Amino acid sequence: MDFSLSPQEEAFRKEVSDWLDENTKDLPAWWRNRDRIAVDSESEEFQVFSRQWHKKLYDAGFIGIAWPKEYGGRGATIMEQAIFNEEMAKRRVPGGVGGLGVGWAGPTIMAAGTEEQKKRFLPKILSGEEVWCQAFSEPEAGSDLANIQTRAVEDGDDYVVNGQKVWTTGGMRADWAILLAKTDFDPNTPRHRTFSYFLLDMHLPGVTVRPLREMTGYALFGETFLDDVRIPKNLMVGEKNRGWYISMGTLEFERSNASSSVGQLNVLKNLIELTHNMERDGRPLSKDSTVRQQLAQFYIEVNVGKYMGLRALTRQLRGDMPGPESALGSLLSMELSQRLQDFAMYLQGPYSQLVSGSKHAIENGSWQGSFLSSRGNTIMTGTSEIKRNIIAQRTLGLPRYTQ
């Protein structure tokens, strides 16, 4: 593992820094503080701004940095992608609309899709013209993904799909979804060989998405209902009944995207600022020995996360998939993000119950929104228990748990 940057990488960092310094002067303050306030990502303002910002990044060649040139990417290395992500996070700059598409739907299509699918979908994922969502989870298939019940039945040139998905992030405004649906109905077939991986046009007749309101007050995700939706056969990714293997690759890409040590560092910096501004018994909290010990401990953990991220990156630079280690980085990052938010509540004591809009709320109640939304962090991309199972089985070689 080599932590130093090559001259080419240093030059790239400078190019990115210069561009970002020049182009982020006018970003609204609420964008920069997204890690401190729960933003209504479904609002018109958010959507319009995201698309405009995405286009700006795309026109400058900063979307899909590590994607091959033939698919519209920059053809740069994963290290350069990581440098770009770091410079963005340092400035608290948003990434555009294509997070899921660029992060894991596109890479899955690149790895397992047909040439026709690559040509049709990849350019529009990059340009942000088509926004993607992920329709994997169902009411009875979350951790137990092999229990997919949505049915896709062959009929002429199409599959006719019926069923219900849930927790579809951004489903209300997505143009396309990566979808898992059952295509083998023989009760004797092992469950992980009973479903296939599809690309679903969210604007087709029979697709309905109902928003689900979270405790933050915002509706980030929805329930997706599929009633006799006709998906052309050429929109299946990989072979029939091999959806399990392809979706495992998607989840590895997703988990490797989920850990950002720079994002955690930003939250830690906000916490440190809070301890300077709050007093107990006439002294700033930053002088309290218990508080200082905890902040130093967080700093250590943020750095552990950084080096785990670099290890996953080294693996990808060698041309491997992110691998089961992506569960390790993602687990650490997600649990740490909650502990950082919990500590902000602890520091505020009884004031932690005052939300945005309350007269005496600390820092305008901004921590309360991020505290509430962080509860989902140890569920999305697989729960902490599932990630520990992956680490136990695939990294430590422990036997599979059975009751």
Ligand X SMILES: Cc1cc2nc3c(=O)[nH]c(=O)nc-3n(C[C@H](O)[C@H](O)[C@H](O)COP(=O)(O)OP(=O)(O)OC[C@H]3O[C@@H](n4cnc5c(N)ncnc54)[C@H](O)[C@@H]3O)c2cc1C
- If one asks whether residue 221 binds ligand X (CB under 6 A), the answer comes out as yes
Count of residues of this chain found to bind ligand X when the rule CB under 6 A is applied? 20
- If one asks whether residue 168 binds ligand X (CB under 6 A), the answer comes out as yes
12, 84, 167, 371: which one binds ligand X (CB under 6 A): 167
Q: How many CB atoms lie within 10 A of CB 374?
A: 21
The single residue of 80, 130, 254, 363 carrying the catalytic annotation is 254
How would you write 341-402 as a 3-class SS string? HHHHHHHHHHHHHCCCCCCCCHHHHHHHHHHHHHHHHHCCCCCHHHHHHHHHHHHCCCCCCC
Q: Closest approach of Cβ 252 to ligand X, in Å?
A: 14
Residue 86 annotated among the catalytic residues of the structure: no
- If one asks whether residue 342 binds ligand X (CB under 6 A), the answer comes out as no
- If one asks whether residue 224 binds ligand X (CB under 6 A), the answer comes out as no
Rounded Cα gap, residues 268 and 390, in angstroms: 28
Orientation angle between helical segments 289-317 and 325-348, nearest 10 degrees: 160
- If one asks whether residue 382 binds ligand X (CB under 6 A), the answer comes out as yes
- If one asks whether residue 213 binds ligand X (CB under 6 A), the answer comes out as no
Buried b (16+ CB within 10 A) or exposed e, 107-129: bbbbebbeeebbebbbbbbbbbe
Question: Which string of x and - marks every residue 133-162 that binds ligand X (by CB under 6 A)?
Answer: xxxxx----xxx------------------
**Helix %, strand %, coil % of the chain (to 5):** 55, 15, 30
Question: Which string of x and - marks every residue 350-379 that binds ligand X (by CB under 6 A)?
Answer: --------------------------x--x
- If one asks whether residue 256 binds ligand X (CB under 6 A), the answer comes out as no
- If one asks whether residue 211 binds ligand X (CB under 6 A), the answer comes out as no
Q: Closest approach of Cβ 224 to ligand X, in Å?
A: 9
Burial of 46 (0-12, 13-18, 19+ CB in 10 A): middle
- List residues binding ligand X (CB under 6 A): 133-137, 142-144, 167-169, 221, 376, 379-380, 382-383, 385-386, 389
Catalytic residues, which ones?
Answer: 254
